[in-house]
Amino acid sequence: MERFKQIGEDVFIGPQPTAADLKEAKQRGIATVIDFRMPAETSASNEELAKSCGLDYANIPVNKESLSKEQISQLDEVMQHKRGPFLLHCGIGTRAATLYALKLASQHHWNAEQTFEAANSMGFDLQSSPQFAEFVARATENHTPAK
- The C-alpha atoms of residue 32 and residue 67 are separated, in whole angstroms, by 23
What domains are there in the chain, each with its CATH number? Answer: 5-140 (3.90.190.10)
Residues 14-25: what's their mean pLDDT? 96
What's the whole-number average pLDDT of the chain? 94
Lowest mean per-residue pLDDT among 41-45, 57-61, 121-125: 41-45
- The C-alpha atoms of residue 127 and residue 6 are separated, in whole angstroms, by 21
Q: Is pLDDT of 145 > 90?
A: no
Instruction: Give the pLDDT confidence of 93-114 residue by residue, as tens digits.
Output: 999 999 999 999 999 999 999 9
Confidence at residue 142, expressed as pLDDT on a 0 to 100 scale = 83
Confidence at residue 146, expressed as pLDDT on a 0 to 100 scale = 55
Residues 22-34: what's their mean pLDDT? 97
Confidence at residue 42, expressed as pLDDT on a 0 to 100 scale = 87
Q: Is pLDDT of 85 > 70?
A: yes
> Which pLDDT band holds residue 35 (cuts at 50, 70, 90)?
very high
Q: Is pLDDT of 147 > 60?
A: no
Q: What are phi and psi of 45, to 5 degrees?
A: -75, 120
Q: Is pLDDT of 144 > 80?
A: no
| Upper half-sphere CA count for residue 5 (Cβ side, 13 Å) | 16
